[in-house]
C-alpha cells in the first residue's frame, strides 16, 4: 500500500492505540494513554516470549498483541468486550499477522475456550472492573505454572503501608464512572500473593499535578473545612506490575475456606 492508500484506509476507522505502520505513519490513537503504554511496553519487551502462548485481555486495537507477536510468541489471542474493527479489518491484514481476536467478556473466560497460557497481558482493564477479585481468580486459572501476568492499571496513590481498595461510584471516580476499582500498590501485590502469585516487580508513573489540579485540590480542602463533607479522592497514578504464578496449595486452610466447601468450623467449633 502507498502512504496515501494507508491514510485513506485509516480514515475509515476510529483508533484507540497509536501503532506505527511505517517509518512515517502511525494510527491516530489517544495520546493521553501513551505514557502508561510506554511503561507497559518496557516491561513487555523485557519478557522472553519466544514460542510462548500469550493472552491479551482488553486488547482493543492490538498494540500489545502485535508487540508480543513481534517478540516471537507462538500464538497470541486477544479478547475485548468491544471488538476492534480497525484491528480485525485493517491492522491484522496490514501486518499479515497471526494474532486472533475475539469479542468476549473477561468473566466468560474459561480454560476450555482457549486452553492455558504462558503469559497473560492485562493492561488498562482492572480499574474498570466492579468484581476485581473474581477477575483475578479467573486469570489465575488460565495460566500455566510459572506463567507470567503483566498488569497495567490505575492505582490509588495513598496509604502505601496498608492494603486498601478504593471503590468509587459515579462522580466520586477520579476518572469517569466506569473507573470504579483502585487498589493501592500494596493491596494489589497482597491480593496477587494470596492468589498464588509471586510479585516480581512494579513501577508507577510519577504523579504529576498541574496548577489547575492543585487549585482544585486546595478548593476541595476549603470546601471540606466549611461544609464538613469529604472531598473526592483524585490521587491516582498508573502502575505496571509483573507477577509469576507460583501455584496454589489446595490443602491450605484459608484457600479451602475462601474457595471450596470445608469442615473447619465442624472440627474446631466457633
- Residue 23 phi/psi, 5-degree rounding, is -65, -20
Which alpha helices (DSSP H) does the chain contain, by range? 3-10, 34-44, 63-70, 85, 92-95, 111-114, 132-140, 185-194, 211-227, 253-259, 264-268
pLDDT of residue 82: 96
In a domain? residue 142: yes
pLDDT one-digit tens code per residue, 34-54: 999 999 999 999 999 999 999
Structural domain span for residue 54: 31-208+234-268
In a domain? residue 6: no
> How many domains is the chain partitioned into structurally?
1
Q: What is the 3-state secondary structure (H, E, C) of 61-86?
A: CCHHHHHHHHCCCCEEEEEECCCCHH
In a domain? residue 57: yes
In a domain? residue 11: no
Are the beta carbons of 186 and 161 closer than 8 angstroms?
Answer: yes
pLDDT one-digit tens code per residue, 64-96: 999 999 999 999 999 999 999 999 999 999 999
| Bigger pLDDT: 257 vs 142 | 142
In a domain? residue 223: no
CATH of the domain at 83: 3.40.50.150
pLDDT of residue 212: 52
Are the beta carbons of 159 and 214 closer than 8 angstroms?
Answer: no
pLDDT one-digit tens code per residue, 89-117: 999 999 999 999 999 999 999 999 999 99
Amino acid at each position: 500500500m502507498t502512504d496515501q492508500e494507508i491514510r485513506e484506509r485509516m480514515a475509515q476507522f476510529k483508533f484507540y492505540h497509536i501503532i506505527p505502520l511505517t517509518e512515517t505513519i502511525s494510527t491516530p490513537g489517544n495520546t493521553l494513554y501513551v505514557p502508561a503504554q510506554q511503561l507497559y511496553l518496557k516491561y513487555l519487551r523485557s519478557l522472553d516470549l519466544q514460542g510462548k502462548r500469550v493472552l491479551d485481555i482488553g486488547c482493543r486495537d492490538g498494540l500489545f498483541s502485535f508487540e508480543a507477536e513481534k517478540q516471537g510468541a507462538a500464538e497470541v489471542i486477544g479478547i475485548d468486550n468491544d471488538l476492534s474493527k480497525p484491528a480485525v479489518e485493517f491492522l491484522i491484514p496490514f501486518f499479515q499477522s497471526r494474532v486472533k481476536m475475539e469479542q468476549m467478556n473477561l468473566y466468560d473466560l474459561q480454560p476450555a475456550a482457549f486452553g492455558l497460557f504462558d503469559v497473560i497481558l492485562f493492561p488498562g482493564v482492572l480499574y474498570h472492573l466492579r468484581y476485581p477479585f473474581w477477575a483475578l481468580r479467573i486469570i489465575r486459572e488460565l495460566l500455566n505454572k510459572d506463567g507470567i501476568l503483566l498488569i497495567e492499571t490505575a492505582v490509588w496513590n495513598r496509604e502505601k503501608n496498608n492494603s486498601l481498595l478504593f471503590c468509587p461510584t459515579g462522580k466520586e471516580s477520579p476518572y469517569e464512572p466506569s473507573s470504579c476499582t483502585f487498589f493501592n500498590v500494596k493491596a494489589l501485590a497482597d491480593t496477587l500473593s494470596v492468589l498464588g502469585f509471586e510479585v516480581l516487580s512494579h513501577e508507577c508513573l510519577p504523579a504529576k499535578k498541574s496548577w489547575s489540579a492543585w487549585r482544585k485540590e486546595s478548593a476541595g480542602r476549603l470546601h471540606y473545612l466549611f461544609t464538613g463533607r469529604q472531598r473526592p479522592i483524585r490521587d491516582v497514578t498508573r502502575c505496571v506490575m509483573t507477577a509469576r504464578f507460583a501455584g496454589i496449595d489446595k490443602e491450605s486452610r484459608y484457600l479451602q475456606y475462601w474457595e471450596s466447601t470445608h469442615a473447619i468450623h465442624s472440627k474446631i467449633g466457633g
